[in-house]
């Protein structure tokens, strides 16, 4: 019997690619260039399953391509905003993601951004590298202490709660959170810290948080959730952190808010126009910019690959995939 055809859109950890090649008629992306829209349409005609990533835009046109063969799109990552889920549903194509396995590393990275912004670590690092450092002095590059300060978490899913636990236990922060719906906590280990409080409204959270960290999915409702008005509701010493998705922030409004000192600093791992970063953002000393590193560890990328493969195999076998989104 011929083996299912699987297209893998980006280079994956070698052990994952080896497993895919062993099991399937695999089409790997040896030179790791993102697929064009046309190449994605071709993949839909060629493959039973597509293993994709955040850099692939999979549109309604792809799901309705004539002689489509693809039955499952297994995303390597938890966020699926780059896939037209309604179109997938209508076309009867299964879509899966990789939750859980990247929670801890993404939460760690959010914490790193909180520390980098509040203690001015990016600025300090650039200062030393430039050769400008003249030595220790009592008033040099003073940041803000985090102990006892309030972290406001927007979106209280797995990652938001993991950030909350870390902020309390590692940094001694107080935590409040806001989410439109009650969080689904499947096991006690993934619950938020005991003393975290729920803010009545997003506006109330913004007005009373020293640091705001975004952990909501990118949906039509959360697009530009942090717009000019909401940023102006934060205190002038407020810090905005984003490890979720770029378009949750209106990035032009963020540039304006930083320039006018409406807020004090920002720590970003994701961008509205990714991979383009607004040149203005690069000019601010009080902004930390990372290249979408949330889940970028050897361990987690391997675990994401395993999980995507498990989902792919289940769907291709006609079984229920563990992480079915659609």
Judged by CB under 6 A, which of 4, 5, 43, 53 binds ligand 8YV?
Answer: 53
Catalytic residue (one of 10, 27, 223, 274): 274
Q: Which 102-121 positions form the footprint of ligand 8YV (CB under 6 A)? A: 102, 106
CA distance 132 to 309: 49
CB closer to ligand 8YV out of 53 and 233: 53
Contact call for residue 54 and ligand 8YV (CB under 6 A): yes
CB closer to ligand 8YV out of 124 and 217: 217
The verdict on whether 82 is a catalytic residue reads: no
CB closer to ligand 8YV out of 118 and 300: 300
Query: Is 177:192 a contact under the CB 8 Å cutoff?
Result: yes
CB closer to ligand 8YV out of 47 and 257: 47
CA distance 187 to 189: 5
Contact call for residue 78 and ligand 8YV (CB under 6 A): yes
> In 119-188, where does DSSP find H-type helix?
121-130, 158-171
We find the least distance from the C-beta atom of residue 208 to ligand 8YV, in angstroms, to be 28
3-state secondary structure of 163: helix
Candidate ranges 62-70, 71-79, 126-134, 158-166; the one touching ligand 8YV (CB under 6 A): 71-79
Catalytic residue (one of 161, 165, 230, 245): 245
Measured from each CB, the residue nearest to ligand 8YV is: 77
Q: What residue has token string 């670590």?
A: 121
CA distance 40 to 103: 29
CA distance 232 to 60: 37
CA distance 269 to 296: 11
CA distances from 74 to 52, 101, 159, 224, 271 (A): 6, 15, 21, 27, 23
The verdict on whether 292 is a catalytic residue reads: yes
Q: Which residue, 103, 53, 61, is CA-closest to 82? A: 53
The verdict on whether 306 is a catalytic residue reads: no
Q: Which 288-307 positions form the footprint of ligand 8YV (CB under 6 A)? A: 294-295
DSSP state string for 30-75: TT-PPPPHHHHHHHHHH-SEEEE-TT--B-HHHHT-TT----EEEE
x/- map, 1-40, ligand 8YV, by CB under 6 A:
----------------------------------------
Candidate ranges 11-19, 72-80, 113-121, 228-236; the one touching ligand 8YV (CB under 6 A): 72-80
Catalytic residue (one of 215, 292, 301, 307): 292
Judged by CB under 6 A, which of 24, 63, 76, 177 binds ligand 8YV?
Answer: 76
Q: Which tokens belong to 209?
A: 């948080």
Which residues of the chain form contacts with ligand 8YV (CB under 6 A)?
53-54, 76-79, 102, 106, 294-295
List, by residue number, the catalytic residues: 245, 274, 292
């Amino acid at each position: 019997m011929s083996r299912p055809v699987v297209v893998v859109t980006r280079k994956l950890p070698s052990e994952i690619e080896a497993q895919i090649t062993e099991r399937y008629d695999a089409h790997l992306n040896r030179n790791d260039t993102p697929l064009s829209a046309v190449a994605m349409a071709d993949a839909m005609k060629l493959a039973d399953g597509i293993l994709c990533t955040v850099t692939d835009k999979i549109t309604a046109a792809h799901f309705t391509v004539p002689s489509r063969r693809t039955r499952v799109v297994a995303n390597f990552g938890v966020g699926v905003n780059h896939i037209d889920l309604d179109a997938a549903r209508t076309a009867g194509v299964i879509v899966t993601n990789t939750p859980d396995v990247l929670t801890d590393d993404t939460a760690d990275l959010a914490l790193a951004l909180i520390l980098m912004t509040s203690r001015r670590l990016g600025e300090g690092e650039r200062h030393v590298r430039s050769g400008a450092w003249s030595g220790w002095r009592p008033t040099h590059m003073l940041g803000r202490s985090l102990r006892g300060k309030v972290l406001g978490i927007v979106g209280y899913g797995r990652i938001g709660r993991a950030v909350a636990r870390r902020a309390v236990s590692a940094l001694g922060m107080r935590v409040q959170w806001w989410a439109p719906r009650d969080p689904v906590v499947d096991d006690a280990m993934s619950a938020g810290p005991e003393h975290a409080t729920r803010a009545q409204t997003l506006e109330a959270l913004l007005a009373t948080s020293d640091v705001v960290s975004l952990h909501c999915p990118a949906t039509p409702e959360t697009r530009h959730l942090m717009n000019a008005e909401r940023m102006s509701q934060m205190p002038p010493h407020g810090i905005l952190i984003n490890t979720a998705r770029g378009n949750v922030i209106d990035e032009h409004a963020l540039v304006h808010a930083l320039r006018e000192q409406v807020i004090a600093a920002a720590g970003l791992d994701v961008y509205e126009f990714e991979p383009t970063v607004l040149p203005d953002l690069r000019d601010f000393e009080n902004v930390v910019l990372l290249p979408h590193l949330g889940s970028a560890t050897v361990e987690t990328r391997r675990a994401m690959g395993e999980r995507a493969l498990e989902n792919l195999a289940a769907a291709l076998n006609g079984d229920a995939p563990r992480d079915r989104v659609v």
